[in-house]
Amino acid sequence: MRYDRTVRLGTDFATTVERVREALAEQGFGILTEIDITATLKAKLGHDMEDYVILGACNPPLAHRALEADRSVGLLLPCNVVLRSDGEGTVVQALDPGTMVALTELDTLRPIAEEATRRLDAALTSLTAPGSNG
């Protein structure tokens, strides 16, 4: 099973981060956390690497429904969205919400995961749409 939803964009890292934030917001996702892996590894280990950020995206109504179905599903929330420099562009990857159904084996989570997938896919697709500078 693939556990990611991925798009590759020809835009620079900073531009992509801003566009991803906007695309997620349009689909009802807020950013709860932001982890700058590049800065953390540099500060803690002296290690240099490409730009790499993890955004913790959350759609509150979907998160609420999932938590009502299974309190332990919080272990799989929020949905991580990774942005990383890759050569001349940026890779954007989101955790496939179907993973929560596969890992928990709870069919009650299936409609929630399907809606989250539709919303994430819409956000990712908007990044590559004509006129989106992707």
So what's the pLDDT on residue 88?
87
Question: What residue spans of 53-107 are helical by DSSP H?
Answer: 60-69, 98-104
So what's the pLDDT on residue 134?
61
Give the three-class secondary structure for 46. coil
Asked if residue 77 belongs to a domain, the reply is yes
DSSP H or E run through 118: helix 110-128
Contacts of 118 (CB under 8 A, 6+ apart): none
* Distance, CA of 122 to CA of 27 (rounded, Å): 7
So what's the pLDDT on residue 15?
96
So what's the pLDDT on residue 2?
79
So what's the pLDDT on residue 129?
83
Cis before 97? omega within 30: no
Asked if residue 55 belongs to a domain, the reply is yes
pTM of the model: 0.92
Asked if residue 15 belongs to a domain, the reply is yes
So what's the pLDDT on residue 33?
97
Domain that includes residue 54, residue range:
4-128
Q: Pull the structure tokens for residue 90.
A: 């940026």
- Which residues of the chain register pLDDT less than 50? none
State the CATH number of the domain containing residue 26.
Answer: 3.30.310.70
